[in-house]
Structure 1
Amino acid sequence: MANNDQLKHDIDAFVDRVWPEVLEDIAELVSHRSVEELDRAEEGAPWGPGPREALDEALCIADRMGLNAHDCDGYLGYADLPGVSEKQIATIAHVDVVPEGPGWHTDPYKMEVRDGWLLGRGVIDDKGPAVLSLHAARFFAERVEETGERLPYTLRVMLGANEETGMGDVDWYLENYEQPAFLFTPDAEFPVCCGEKGQLSATFRSPEVAGGAAANEPAAIVSLDGGTVTNAIPREAQAYVRADAAKLPEAEGIVIEAACDGLVHLTAHGIGGHASLPAGTKNAIGMLCDYLLENGVFSEAQRPFLELEAQVMGSTDGSTLGIDATDDIFEPLTCIGGTVRTTADGRFEQTVDCRYPKSTTSEAIAERLADVSASHGCEFVLGNTVPPFYVDPSSPEIQTLVRSYNEYTGRDTQPFTIGGGTYARHFANAASFGPEEPEAETPEWVGQMHGPDEGVNEEQLRLALKIYIYAIAQLMELEL
């Protein structure tokens, strides 16, 4: 216990000393709009210029700390602190982000510190945690330099660049590198997540029904557009319709504006959030489609798609689609509509994101969704599917993480499972480990990850850095 007390004292002193640099490093990473742009991809930048720039920044930070930084052709990067053994204890965070989307009250790519909170795209998902992982490795690099004693295992800090849109970075990594003995990703909630729901994405595609109305149908939807990414609940959606603006009734959250060429511009304002956490959100696409249906603002050819939208948005547990499920390991299934678009050939396309427990399968979900789609005269296109991920919560590695968190917080917590998807599910022995605190109070002006005004409490990050350093030290004492 005495050694642990000294370790904690050293950790406290280290975090106090380096914290100004931590904030500077987070701000530098946030300044890069590291959103995937495959149409601008090139050799060395497979995810586009933004992720490439952010990865370069992160590797420069690692190099400055004296870690052995490596660029993996732009797919991702890593920085090593060699140990006595080549076996690795690793961390992995990501430097790519979702698009900023509407509704910000600050510059999303200029980090702002306000009343003890950091604001900016990526401060919590996942650029802030990426910087914490680098500074955790810095703590051990300085100790090795001071004492000359190497760690029992090699410490590898991995920096992903494609987590938000497919995790092709880790697919590439695992084709070219061996698995670490254990890995955690700072990209979820504390204390430690040992399981993640399965995932399924899909698209409902209407026939060619968008555009002008027939002569005997004065109302019609010319275009629908809403959401920024498929794995987030949209806070805004809009439509251009052929209708009389003066005759359209007011409705909560719906803005009605006359537009040119006899069109009306409708905008729905909801409450956005992450696809895996729909509680407390309000899907703007659902609000808009409900308004159109209730007020007859559609052509008859467009009715089936709107009725399909009502079924998709009618619940967040999949019950209105007939795919609801639960079990004794995971929370119930979630299913949300993420984006709606109007294609050049006059179709409406609605994406859905499902997170499902072990009691069902992607095959069963896809079969049911295809039937629902067909019953509304629409095409169903299955996207990515990923099976559920689960690690024994009693394993020494998971228990070490939980114990480290509990020691620093004085709490008595246990491992849990989530609906979100992290890098952990790609590795044989892994978990997600903070830094979010689910019970922490958040001011109204601070937004969630994937939403506007994304923010994180500064003291929360300081504590997380201490926990990460302490947990890595404890992991280094295990027999792996």
Structure 2
Amino acid sequence: MNLQEKAISYKEEVINAIQEAIRIKSVEEAPLPGKPFGKGPAEALSYFLQLGESMGFEVENFDNYAGHIDFGSGDETIGILGHVDVVPEGEGWSHPPYAGEIEDGKIYGRGVLDDKGPMITCLYAMKAIKDSGLKTGKKIRMILGANEESGWGCMDHYFGKLNMPHPDLSFTPDSTFPVTFAEKGIMQVVLKKRYENSENIKIKGGNAFNSVSEKAFLEISEDSGKIISDHINSFNKDKNYKIEMEKKSGNLIFTSNGKSAHASRPDKGYNAISALMKLISESGYRGGALEEIGIFFSEKIKMETNGRSMGIAFEDQDSGQLSLNIGMISLENNNLEISVDIRYPVTVEKDAVLKGIEKNASEFGMEMEITGGKDPLYVPRDHFLVKTLMDVYKDVTGDMDAQPIAIGGGTYARAIKNCVAFGSLLKDQEDNMHQKDEYLEIGKIDTWLKIYAEAIYKLAK
């Protein structure tokens, strides 16, 4: 039995392990003693480490921030980086998000693509190499983080505070095939303003910087909101995603329904926050904070996803256009906060983007607070790591025309030197990461196992 056949022989075990991993709701929560990101991420990390230990690998948990699973030895180390945490599930699922249900050949669940399914597959690829008795001249180390989706505190702890060594060559299965040689820079900012006399208005929308808002809400008194309600029917005409209205305790509640997508590709979604603001602006509403917020969106945001009206629609040949996503909004007790996620091209200076946002926000008296970000990643196309992984992908899939790609997503490849994203989405797989009814087609697992077993072995031998 060759390596690829050996890897495929574990397919049923892979399916079962993915289902079990999905059943752990590993969304970040308030820290608990010994659990810096809450109960769920710690449980998910423990599950992966116990699974690795059951395969005969050496494992270690680093304070429930991160862990690693080791196989083999050598002067050099091959790293496989991934995460066990997930984004919040959101609403509208037709399958329970934390059940791992199988229907029509698909496993449904939050994290099945991002990143539990791919990491389970890589772990069984390691097992296939081990059980085949193949000799490797390098150590293989799977590094698991518990806080990738909301801050990377896991990697800061593992590589920063603990000063763990960087592997010599690494990949992370947290993007698409074939090989991601460039990742745009990421910045997350919050635009803030304090208003007076807006206590009778509430706005709420979105649940994460890095997701297109699927729901947004406006609550306003019936008298003040009449002009908006009068405009709903004409606004909703010929649109796929509707804004609904209900009356409750003398107030009008407007609910904007969008379509979620990853913030790296906001053009794949429909932003409920932007749509709600468009309704307010087009309705002719006048008065105070709500009017000003509506004007800000109509002039500076619109329904765009490239930042053009903010004057930051940068673009380059390697990584394409800048993307801008309004991830969250809140107006409550006179305090406005707008959470913005930007992915900027690899050759663009971060300060040029920040200056553009700050200039436009200041025109409306808003202050800008930088809350997070990552520098761009660029590994040359002719680098040994890129070339080796490209060769494996082509050999297994027969896709000889494939070329390395650039993305707007942010993966662990940025955390260390000589690391790229490698998979896991194949060309004919739907990208529903961060969306409702996230699913993995069971038929794709065979190809995943073949690719990852060959890739890990080729890098490690």
- TM-fit CA distance, 1:449: 0.7
- 1:242 is the counterpart of 2:205: no
Q: Shift of residue 304 of structure 1? A: 2.0
- From 190, 196, 205, give the equivalent of 1:226: 205
Structure 1 alignment gaps of length 5 or more: 1-8, 214-221
Q: SS where residue 40 of structure 1 aligns? A: coil
Matches within 5 A, 1:414-433: 414-433=403-422
**Deviation, structure 1 residue 456:** 1.9
Corresponding residue number in structure 2 for 1:394: 382
After TM superposition, the structure 1 = structure 2 runs for residues 81-480 of structure 1, keeping only pairs within 5 Å, are 81-83=71-73, 85-144=74-133, 150-175=135-160, 176-209=163-196, 211-212=198-199, 222-244=201-223, 247=230, 249-250=232-233, 251-252=235-236, 253-260=242-249, 262-297=250-285, 299-310=287-298, 311-343=300-332, 345-412=333-400, 413-437=402-426, 439-440=427-428, 442=430, 448-477=432-461
Secondary structure of 1:288's aligned partner: helix
CA distance in 2, matches of 1:326, 1:76: 35
Give the distance between the partners of 1:278 and 1:419, measured in 2 at CA.
10
| Higher relative contact order (CA closer than 8 Å, sequence separation 6+) | 2
Whether the 8 Å CA contact 1:93–1:186 is kept in 2: the answer is yes
CA RMSD of aligned residues (A): 1.7
Counterpart of 1:48 (choices 33, 38, 55) is 38
- 1:137 and 1:157 in contact (8 A); partners too: no
User: How far is 1:327 from its partner?
Assistant: 1.2
Please list the CA deviations of residues 436-479 of structure 1 after superposition, one character each: whole Å capped at 9, or x if unmatched. 02x4164xxxx7111111112222232111100011121124xx
Shift in Å, 1:205: 1.3
Shift of 1:299: 2.4
Once the two structures are superposed, what CA deviation does each residue of 1:183-237 show, in whole Å capped at 9, x if it has no partner? Answer: 1000000001011000111011122257456xxxxxxxx1111111011111111
TM-score (norm 1): 0.89
Matches of 2:429 and 2:347 in 1, distance apart?
A: 33
Query: Does 1:10 find its partner at 2:2?
Result: yes
CA distance in 2, matches of 1:172, 1:212: 41
Q: Residues 101-140 of structure 1, C-alpha deviation per residue, up to 9 Å, x if partnerless?
A: 1111111000121212211000000000110111111112
* Paired residue type of 1:264: L
Per-residue Cα deviation, 1:359-408 (whole angstroms, up to 9, x for no partner): 32221111121111110122221222322110111111211100000001
Aligned-residue offset at 1:297? 4.1
Contact 1:435–1:460 at 8 Å: present in 2 too?
Answer: no
Partner of 1:219: none
Where 1:108 maps in the other structure, the secondary structure is: coil
Question: How much does 1:42 deviate?
Answer: 2.5
CA 1:76–1:298: 2 relative to 1, 3 Å: farther
| Selected match of 1:63 from 46, 53, 60 | 53
- Measured in 1, the distance between the counterparts of 2:193 and 2:290 equals 8
Partner of 2:239: none
TM-score calculated relative to the size of structure 2: 0.93
CA distance in 2, matches of 1:342, 1:35: 25
Q: Is the 8 A contact 2:198 2:289 kept in 1?
A: no
Instruction: Tell me the amino acid that sits aligned with residue 381 of structure 1.
Output: E
Q: Distance in 2 between matches of 1:160 and 1:300?
A: 45
Residue 6 of structure 1 corresponds to which residue in structure 2?
A: none
**Alpha-carbon distance change, 89 to 346 in structure 1, aligned in 2, over 3 angstroms:** same
Match for residue 17 of structure 2 among 19, 25, 33: 25
* Number of equivalent positions: 447
Amino acid at match of 2:346: K
Instruction: Tell me: CA distance 1:201–1:313, structure 2 relative to 1, closer, same or farther (3 Å).
Output: farther
| AA matched with 2:443 | E
Cα distance, 1:370–1:415 mapped onto 2, change above 3 Å: same
- Preserved CA contact (<8 Å) 1:305 1:378: no
For 1:154, give the aligned amino acid.
K
Equivalent position SS for 1:131:
helix
Deviation of the 1:314 alpha carbon: 3.5
Gaps of 5+ in 2: 237-241
- What's the CA shift string for 1:265-299, capped at 9, x where partnerless? 10011121001112232110011111112224452
Structure 1 CA distance, aligned partners of 2:341 and 2:90?
Answer: 18
Letter of the structure 2 residue corresponding to residue 125 of structure 1: D
